[in-house]
Amino acid sequence: MRLWLPPALLAVVLCGLSAAMPVLEPLFRWIQPDKQQVIYDRGSFLFLLQNHLLLVVISAAVGTFAAVAGGILATRPAGRDFLPLVSQVASIGQTFPPVAVLALAVPVLGFGEAPILFALILYGLLPILRNTLAGLEGINPAVREAATGMGMSPLQVLVRVELPLAGRIILAGIRTSVTINIATAAIGSTIGARTLGDPVIAGLVNGNTAYVLQGAILIGLLALTTDSLFEALERTWDRRFSPQGAMA
C-alpha cells in the first residue's frame, strides 16, 4: 500500500489546487500587482485538468497499442524483415516538432482536440516502441525454448512468458511517453483544444505572469503525479514478475 501513497497524495493535491485556485488570489495578486484580473476565469481549472488528462490518456492508449503491436510483429520470425520499417515509421513522430505536426493536421482535421490527439499519438510512439523492442529482444532465448519445451504455443509463450518479462521495460517506455505528452498537450490550446495550456497561452498573450504560473504549476504537478503512479506500477510489476521480486 505504501507504494501507492505518493501518487494518491499528489493526485489529491492536484485536484485540490485545481478546485481552490481562486483562494490563492492574494498570492497571485502579489506576483502580478499591475493586473486587474489575476486568476484565470475563462474555464474551470478542474475542467481543463480533466480534458488535458483525457487527451493524454486517449493518445497513450492508442499509441501504446500501436507501438506494442508493432514491436511484437517486428520480433516474430515472420516479421523481422519489417523491423527497420517499423522503427522508421515510429521515428517520424519525433522527427517533426509537435507544432509542425499541428500545422499539417489542422487543415485536414480542423481545430479542436483531433489535431493535438494526432500529434500526441505520433510523438508518443517512439519511446514505447523502442522499449518494447528492447524488452522482447532482451529475453534469454533459453527461456523461450524452455516454455516451448513445456508444450506452450507461440501465443502462450508471448502472453505468459515474454510480455510479463518485458513488461517492466515497456512500462518505462510508456512512462516516458506519457510524461512528455503531458507537457506537449498544452500546445493544443493554440488550436482550440481545452487544456491546462489555456491559462499559459492567455498569460503569454496578455503579459500576465499569474496566468502562466497557474497553468504551469498544474501541468508540472500532473506530470509529477503521473510519473509517481508509473513508478509504483513498475515496482509492483517487478515484485510480481521479476525473479528477484519473487524471491524477496
Q: Give the 3-state DSSP-derived string for 69-88, with helices as H, strands as E and coil as C.
A: HHHHHHHCHHHHHHHHHHHH
- 133 within domain boundaries: yes
Q: Is 200 exposed, middle or buried (0-12, 13-18, 19+ CB in 10 A)?
A: buried
Residue 157 φ/ψ, nearest 5 degrees: -60, -45
Q: What is the CATH number of the domain that holds 241?
A: 1.10.3720.10
| 3-class DSSP assignment, residue 162 | helix
**Helix ranges, the chain (H):** 5-20, 25-31, 45-75, 83-95, 98-109, 113-137, 141-149, 154-157, 163-184, 197-206, 209-241, 243-247
In a domain, 57, yes or no: yes
Q: Looking at the domain assignment, is residue 152 inside a domain?
A: yes
Distance of CA 6 to the CA centre of its chain: 18
Domain count, the chain: 1
What gap in Å lies between CA 94 and CA 24, rounded to an integer? 38
Any idea of the CA torsion for 21, 22, 24, 25, to the nearest 10 degrees? 140
Task: Please give the model's pTM, rounded to 2 decimal places.
Answer: 0.89
pLDDT score at 154: 87
The grid coordinates listed for 120 are 500526441
Question: Rounded distance, CA 25 to CA 100, Å?
Answer: 36
Give the span between the Cα atoms of 238 and 34, in whole angstroms: 53
In order along its 248 residues, the chain shows pLDDT tens digits of 677 898 999 999 999 999 999 999 999 989 888 888 889 988 899 999 999 999 999 999 999 999 999 899 888 887 777 777 777 776 666 666 777 778 778 888 888 888 899 889 988 888 899 899 889 888 888 888 898 888 888 889 998 999 999 999 999 999 999 999 999 999 999 888 899 999 999 999 988 999 999 999 999 999 999 999 999 999 888 888 765 444 34
Query: Does some domain include residue 183?
Result: yes
Looking at residue 139, its amino acid is I
CB 236 within 8 A of CB 1: no
On whether residue 24 sits in a domain, the answer given is no
What is the model's pLDDT at position 80? 73
Is 122 domain-assigned? yes
pLDDT for residue 237: 86
In a domain, 82, yes or no: yes
Q: Does residue 65 belong to any structural domain of this protein?
A: yes
**Predicted pLDDT at 248:** 40
Domain that holds residue 55: 42-247
The 10 Å Cβ neighbour count of residue 163 is 18
3-state secondary structure of 150: coil
